[in-house]
Amino acid sequence: MKLTMIGTGYVGLVTGACLADTGNDVLCLDLDGDKIARLQAGEIPIHEPGLQEVVRRNVAARRLAFTTDPALAAGFGEVQFIAVGTPPGDDGAADVQHVLAAARSIGQHMDGRKLIVNKSTVPVGTADRVRQAVAQALAARGAQHGFGVVSNPEFLKEGAAVEDFMRPERIVVGADDERAAGLMREIYAPFNRSRDRLLMMDVRSAELTKYAANAMLATRISFMNEMANLAEALGADIESVRHGIGSDSRIGHQFLYPGCGYGGSCFPKDVKALIRTARQEAGMELRVLGAVESVNAAQRQVLVRKVRQRFGPDLRGRHFGLWGLAFKPDTDDMREAPSRYVLQELLNAGATVRAYDPCAMREAQRALADAPGLSYASDPMDALGGADALLIATEWKQFRSPDFDAMAVALKQPVIFDGRNLYPPRLLRERGFEYHCIGRVATPLQAPPDQDGAYQGSRLPS
């Protein structure tokens, strides 16, 4: 089938490349000429494991191509996917201007019947606005081509997007007519061979499903962060608590890791947008999500609060190493990353910081420009030289088993503020580190009494 993908960002490029990989002919449209030139040259503008191989394979097979020509794109695909950004506006609402611009462009150039598929994350009711925009563009040119509009939200995790698309847990499609539903079933048939993952529903329910899913995941994170702060205050260990509640099949273990807050392009934006939609469209206050947002805002400050408790409020003359800039591992995305809030607070307090990230260094230099007091390291150890302490903001695998002896030598003093709970507290303290983490207090395990009736402390790390 011939498909057009409007937008070559994180969602559009992954979707287009993966649909081409199942035999479709896909033309990706983007108005950013530099990005299209890079893609045509075999360069991938985002870091996503496995994506480069899929793109290059399908470009070589002539199933995947790129263009900046809206007319060519509108005429190419029987199905037109819209996968453009919906950034938050000043009031927290999702800005759908790019979605509606894409819809108008389709209406201005389409030369026959089209199915328009909205993959962008949009407020409930956007499909109606897309339908209206296309109809108005057709009317303006006196054309009467038929078209349908469906909602097909994405559920891709950054860092695992290709795997998520190829092996989806579910494929949500909101369609109001059987012809549109039939085309979507045909497109996604290759992903339904072992079992039917397609969930057909009405358009508005599909639009709400995307927001509800992200809001639920954000809620779990904020809940665990509150529990971690409480555990720390009460002398409990949040890791033990996490295992204790996660073993309940009704709860499960996913998204129960406390830390220094959630970030990225989805959770902060979508929670805000859903709160705003409820308030403006339904006259409702989503009190749970309001609390989720407030907890996350506070949790972004937790590492710097610990730093100030240790070194005092005035950090002038202090120097820190920072491991992790991306909002999560396996991506270079720094949108709403906790590291940005950590850096801002440290630099504003007069400290200097030397940061390292395996993938996000170029993005950090672009996003943070020439922030006074911030420098970039060539490797993890380079970030530690002469630092008063190390802060960890992203749980990259290469940070999990470092050379602690070398770290102790490089640091001015062996102090770690871990916003991702990478290490067992007892192990760090046995190695001579002062270790500050989230919701964990190292307490000695009690062993059976020895022959003299005294308890022997266990050497097992907690």
Nearest to 12 by CA among 335, 23, 31, 1: 31
State both tokens at 13.
Answer: 């490029």
3-state secondary structure the chain: CEEEEECCCHHHHHHHHHHHHCCCEEEEECCCHHHHHHHHCCCCCCCCCCHHHHHHHHHHCCCEEEECCHHHHHHHCCEEEECCCCCECCCCCECCHHHHHHHHHHHHHCCCCEEEEECCCCCCCHHHHHHHHHHHHHHHCCCCCCEEEEECCCCCCCCCHHHHHHCCCCEEEECCCHHHHHHHHHHHHHHCCCCCCEEEECHHHHHHHHHHHHHHHHHHHHHHHHHHHHHHHHCCCHHHHHHHHHCCCCCCCCCCCCCCCCCCCCHHHHHHHHHHHHHHHHCCCCHHHHHHHHHHHHHCCHHHHHHHHHHCCCCCCCEEEEECCCCCCCCCCCCCCHHHHHHHHHHHCCCEEEEECCCCHHHHHHHHCCCCCEEECCCCHHHCCCCCEEEECCCCHHHCCCCHHHHHHHCCCCEEEECCCCCCHHHHHHCCCEEECCCCCCCCCEEEECCCCCEEECCCCC
Contacts of residue 341, Cβ cutoff 8 Å, sequence gap at least 6: 261, 300, 301, 304
Residue 266 falls in the annotated catalytic set: yes
- The residue from 28, 266, 359, 437 that is catalytic is 266
Closest C-alpha among 79, 109, 275 to residue 180: 79
Burial class (CB in 10 A: 0-12, 13-18, 19+), 186: exposed
In this structure, are residues 377 and 342 in contact, taking their beta carbons and an 8 Å threshold?
Answer: no
Active-site residue numbers? 266
